[in-house]
Amino acid sequence: MAKILEGPAMKLFNKWGMPVPNYVVVMDPNRLEQLGEANKWLRESKLVVKAHEAIGGRFKLGLVKLGLNLEQAVEAANAMIGREIGTAVVRQVIIAEMLDHDEEYYISIAGNRDGAELLLSTKGGVDIEDNWDTVKRLFIPLDETPSIERITEAALEAGFVGEIAERVAKIASRLILCFDNEDAQSIEINPLVIRKSDMRFAALDAVMNVDWDARFRHPDWDFKPVSEIGRPFTEAEQQIMEIDARIKGSVKLVEVPGGNIALLTAGGGASVFYSDAVVARGGSIANYAEYSGDPPDWAVEALTETICRLPDIKHIIVGGAIANFTDVKATFNGIINGFRESKSKGFLENVKIWVRRGGPNENQGLASMKKLQEEGFDIHVYDRSMPMTDIVDLAMNS
């Protein structure tokens, strides 16, 4: 799942013939004045300025300003750029034409196992959740394109009338094309607005997710996906992502501020069960982490050091299932080195470490982990006979 920002989404809409308002993305507000000289709409329309970043709740943070003229827009852009929100910095703003409109519609498409589902409603805008029962659904089987008649029919059933129904159907058919050809996972346009005087439509706001695994067949994708975790990535997370991109196998990290149980767990499935176990026992995790696919020891070492630096942690859970082909001895060597390095830097004081693992070379790996006791680590090592997540219980009862 890869959410993309509005700018790239608008560009893809444009490519597939969907109506978008005029817009520009700028990093330098002064550039906006020059753009105003070249673009009539910037001088003559009411404008909306939004921070072009993956920051949730932009409206409340004052990162969306409506109904501005060009001068005010430059001012708003100046105020936004450089603002720091948590770990994120606003670097870009998107300035779009605020189309005076008569009605707001809702149109979206989302993939499912058998194809996709098109959703249409005449009651778009902020209240769509309250009007969810007005949504008309049209199932689109995989690799099939519904006829324009079929879509028009659905639009009519959704309550669109006359020419508007036909125009909405046409927009929907292009949305389907865009969805299909761009390996999208979902596209939600809310609102799709209409100015009836000249029958002009525009997608005023949109959320688009594309399948990042399909990027090999989209050489024109010049954007990067935004964070999938509901906030921008922290520096530590970005460092781990950079390592992840370079290695065989993978290492992953998500920080969860406020928790006191750190996870240093293996495998995409098992790691989630470990966080579940912490939560089920009333604990709070300080992070989510995962390494898998037999990553090199230095990558696991880097992940370990990052986790040891998490603030206020009481326990580290070095958990994992019985690996199929990840070498326990080699990956544990990385973890051991990470622990040693962290301890020498003054971390891991009063931190208890709990280990459970199996897999290739498990005996050697567990034995060297156990040896850390001799170096003064508060470490508790268990083999496959310990039920996988029970070390969480042991940690929390200790």
Partner 1 sequence: MSILANRDTRAVIIGGVAGVNAARRMAQFDFLINRPLTVEAFVYPPEEGQQKEIYRGGELNNVTVYASLQKALDENPLINTALIYIGASRAYQSAKEALDSKGIKLVTMITEGVPEKDAKRLRKYALEKGKIFNGPSSIGIMSAGECRLGVIGGEYKNLKLCNLYRPGSFGVITKSGGLSNEAMWLCAQNGNGITSAVAIGGDSYPGTDFVTYLQMFENDPETKAVVIVGEVGGTLEEEAAEWLGAEQRRIKVIAAIGGTCQDVLPQGMKFGHAGAKEGKKGLGSARSKINALREAGAYVPDTFGGLSKAIKQVYQELQATGVIKPEPEIDEKVLPELPPSVQEIMKQGEVIVEPLIRTTISDDRGEEPRYVGYAASELCEKGYGIEDVIALLWNKKLPSREESEIIKRIIMISADHGPAVSGAFGAIIAACAGIDLPQAVSAGMTMIGPRFGGAVTNAGKYFKYGVKEYPNDIPGFLSWMKQNHGPVPGIGHRVKSLKNPDKRVKYLVEYVKNQTTLHTPCLDYALEVEKITTSKKDNLILNVDGTIGCILVDLDFPEYSLNGFFVLARTIGMIGHWIDQNNQNARLIRLYDYLINYAVKEEREVPEKK
> Which residues are near partner 1 by CB under 8 A?
1, 56, 111, 113-115, 142-143, 183, 185, 211, 213-214, 216-217, 228-231, 252, 254, 256, 266-273, 275-281, 284-285, 288, 290, 292, 320-326, 358-361, 384-385, 387-390, 392-393
In the bound state with partner 1, the residue whose beta carbon lies nearer, of 122 and 287, is: 287
In the bound state with partner 1, the residue whose beta carbon lies nearer, of 253 and 379, is: 253
Sign of CA dihedral 302, 299, 382, 373: negative
To partner 1, the closest distance from the beta carbon of 278 in angstroms equals 7
H helix intervals, the chain: 6-15, 29-38, 40-44, 70-80, 148-157, 162-181, 235-246, 270-280, 297-308, 328-344, 362-370, 390-397
Structure tokens at 134: 């007005």
To partner 1, the closest distance from the beta carbon of 276 in angstroms equals 5
In the bound state with partner 1, the residue whose beta carbon lies nearer, of 10 and 277, is: 277
Check whether the bond before 296 is cis (ω within 30° of 0): no
In the bound state with partner 1, the residue whose beta carbon lies nearer, of 34 and 112, is: 112
d(CA 147, CA 3): 29
Q: Classify 229 as helix, strand or coil.
A: coil
To partner 1, the closest distance from the beta carbon of 381 in angstroms equals 17
Is residue 101 within 8 Å of residue 195, measured between CB atoms?
yes
To partner 1, the closest distance from the beta carbon of 44 in angstroms equals 38
In the bound state with partner 1, the residue whose beta carbon lies nearer, of 38 and 245, is: 245
Structure tokens at 315: 């326990």
In the bound state with partner 1, the residue whose beta carbon lies nearer, of 62 and 387, is: 387
Task: Supply the DSSP string of 275-306, one letter for each residue.
Answer: HHHHHHTT--BSEEEEEESS--HHHHHHHHHH
To partner 1, the closest distance from the beta carbon of 300 in angstroms equals 15
To partner 1, the closest distance from the beta carbon of 2 in angstroms equals 10
